[in-house]
Amino acid sequence: MALVLHAGNTNKNGFKALIAAEYSGVKVDLVKNFQMGVSNRTPEFLKMNPIGKVPVLETPDGSIFESNAIARYVTHLKADNPLYGSSLIEYAHVEQWIDFASLEIDANILRWYIPRIGFSVYLPPAEEAAISALKRALDALNSHLASNTFLVGHNVTLADIILTCNLTLGFSRILTKSFTSEFPHVERYFWTMVNQPNFRKVLGVVKQTEAIPPVQSAKKPSQPKEPAKPKAKDEAKKEATKEVKKEPAKPKAEGTGEEEEAPKPKPKNPLDLLPPSKMILDEWKRLYSNTRTNFREVAIKGFWDMYDPEGYSLWFCDYKYNTENTVSFVTLNKVGGFLQRMDLARKYAFGKMLVIGSEPPYKVKGLWLFRGKEIPQFVIDECYDMELYDWTKVEITDEVQKERVSQMIEDYEPFEGEALLDAKCFK
């Protein structure tokens, strides 16, 4: 018998086991056509979990409920699974952060969110206490992530999976950008995690909510309907006569708005509506990728020959918090995460990111080529990393700035008198 997970396909607690399965090479089938409030009330389901909570995992040896227990079971199916770290102390730290993710993060998000959507009584003092406790937890998490890419060690562990799934509910339902911006390292961590291939395969594209849900009145349990009283003989006769006299329902007229509307065409990106440019971005990217020798004479000269200041713009960016870049791999992962999240602009941009310095703190500087004369608004809106950098438009009439652009494209070293730790390209 295969492992079967009983949960809806949007259940964040079910996601924990599915992501752990992806990392562990374990096959877990999500039950089909699961309906919350229906499927988990059947006698078969209640045999697996008497209180009807979701998710439940069916295994050859019996069923398991409670999402963290299910995720642990799936993880342990692979011997010496790196999701549990590489030593006894790392194993303990994984368990530590799983408890933290559940008791400090998930519990307080739910205490804030559940009353607002009407599933429990809304009490302002209780909400204030939940928000205060959540901020305290996120502040502690932010401090830890200032010098760590992952919760434990240098790779994804089960703790990262469980914490990220819990944060996904928060980010997508109640934690707005204005709230999470107080915790930049948590933001960086969260968007890095949800864009890892194994996470993205299960979670899909995660988007941050734009507003805190308004308070709804608590939902009352539905009352059973009273059985209909038998009608008197004369009343029944009158009802039957009315039914006969009813005119057949007329078909809905086309175009009245009563039918379901046809899906509207997806609006075009405003950058696609700009006048044609003499610079073909893909041609530049090919030239950059294919130039192996005489880079300055071939690629750099080719770039300036192609560059169209009417159709494109160049921008320098400087990371605002370079004093925090004290660990090389953490700094490199920050840059990698930024480039990963910039994937939405791949059709309209080219970038170079330099990590500079032979010892900490490391400096992060970049050069970006964007379609249009300004940084595209959708990039500013969708990629939170943009706020972590100071952006300066390049004046190509300034020969000093123009030379700086050339050096950044070709990974010139030493750059501004310092060694390059790494150079990453977005193309």
Domain boundaries, the chain: 3-76, 82-203, 281-426
Which positions ≥6 away from 401 have C-beta within 8 Å? 316, 394, 395
424 class by beta-carbon count within 10 Å (0-12 exposed, 13-18 middle, 19+ buried): middle
Q: What is the pLDDT of residue 234?
A: 52
Mean pLDDT is lowest, of 133-137, 151-155, 255-259, 353-357, for 255-259
Q: Which CATH class is domain 281-426?
A: alpha beta
Question: Between residues 210 and 262, which one has the greater pLDDT?
Answer: 210
* Predicted confidence (pLDDT) per residue in 24-68, tens digit: 999 999 999 999 889 999 999 999 999 999 999 999 999 999 999
Task: Judge whether 354 and 423 are in contact, CB under 8 Å.
Answer: yes
Confidence check: pLDDT of 233 > 90: no
* Predicted confidence (pLDDT) per residue in 366-424, tens digit: 999 999 999 999 999 888 889 999 999 999 999 999 999 999 999 999 999 999 999 99
Radius of gyration of the chain (CA): 28
Q: What is the pLDDT of residue 337?
A: 84
For the entire predicted model, the pTM comes to 0.58
HEC profile of the chain = CCEEEECCCCCHHHHHHHHHHHHHCCCEEECCCCCCCCHHHCHHHHHHCCCCCCCEEEECCEEEECHHHHHHHHHHCCCCCHHHCCCHHHHHHHHHHHHHHHHHHHHHHHHHHHHHCCCCCCCHHHHHHHHHHHHHHHHHHHHHHCCCCCCCCCCCCHHHHHHHHHHHHHHHHCCCHHHHCCCHHHHHHHHHHHCCHHHHHHHCCCCCCCCCCCCCCCCCCCCCCCCCCCCCHHHHHHHHHHHHHCCCCCCCCCCCCCCCCCCCCCCCCHHHHCCCCCCCHHHHHHHHHHCCCCHHHHHHHHHHHHCCCCCEEEEEEEECCHHHCCCHHHHHHHHHHHHHHHHHHHHHEEEEEEEECCCCCCEEEEEEEEECCCCCHHHHHHCHHHHHEEEEECCCCCHHHHHHHHHHHCCCCCECCECEEEEEEEC
Cα–Cα dist 166/254, whole Å: 46
Helix axis angle, 184-194 to 158-173, nearest 10°:
110
Q: How large is the average pLDDT for residues 263-270?
A: 66
Helix axis angle, 107-116 to 158-173, nearest 10°:
20
Cα–Cα dist 410/295, whole Å: 7
Q: What is the pLDDT of residue 219?
A: 58
Q: How large is the average pLDDT for residues 183-211?
A: 95
Residues in the chain: 427
Q: How large is the average pLDDT for residues 10-14?
A: 93
Cα–Cα dist 373/183, whole Å: 32
Cα–Cα dist 387/187, whole Å: 12
Per-residue tokens: 240: 């039957």
Q: What is the pLDDT of residue 341?
A: 85
Q: How large is the average pLDDT for residues 242-264?
A: 43
CATH fold group of domain 82-203? Glutathione S-transferase Yfyf (Class Pi); Chain A, domain 2 (1.20.1050)
Task: Judge whether 362 and 321 are in contact, CB under 8 Å.
Answer: no
pLDDT level of residue 192 (50, 70, 90 thresholds): very high
Among candidate residues 360, 353, 352, the one with its CA nearest the CA of residue 334: 353
CB atoms within 10 A of CB 70: 26
Confidence check: pLDDT of 153 > 50: yes
CB atoms within 10 A of CB 231: 11
Give the C-alpha distances (Å, rounded to integers) separating 120 from 13, 90, 114, 217.
Answer: 20, 38, 6, 8
Average pLDDT of the chain to the nearest whole number: 88
Task: Judge whether 71 and 162 are in contact, CB under 8 Å.
Answer: yes
Provide the β-strand partners of residue 4.
Answer: 29, 58
Q: What is the pLDDT of residue 98?
A: 97
Confidence check: pLDDT of 246 > 80: no
Task: Judge whether 284 and 302 are in contact, CB under 8 Å.
Answer: yes
* Predicted confidence (pLDDT) per residue in 303-360, tens digit: 999 999 999 999 999 999 999 898 888 888 889 888 988 888 999 999 999 999 999 9
Among candidate residues 83, 51, 89, the one with its CA nearest the CA of residue 68: 83
Cα–Cα dist 78/256, whole Å: 59
For domain 3-76, say whether CATH 3.40.50.2000 is its number: no
* Predicted confidence (pLDDT) per residue in 83-107, tens digit: 999 999 999 999 999 999 999 999 9
Which positions ≥6 away from 273 have C-beta within 8 Å? none
* Predicted confidence (pLDDT) per residue in 282-309, tens digit: 999 999 999 989 999 999 999 999 999 9
CB atoms within 10 A of CB 174: 21
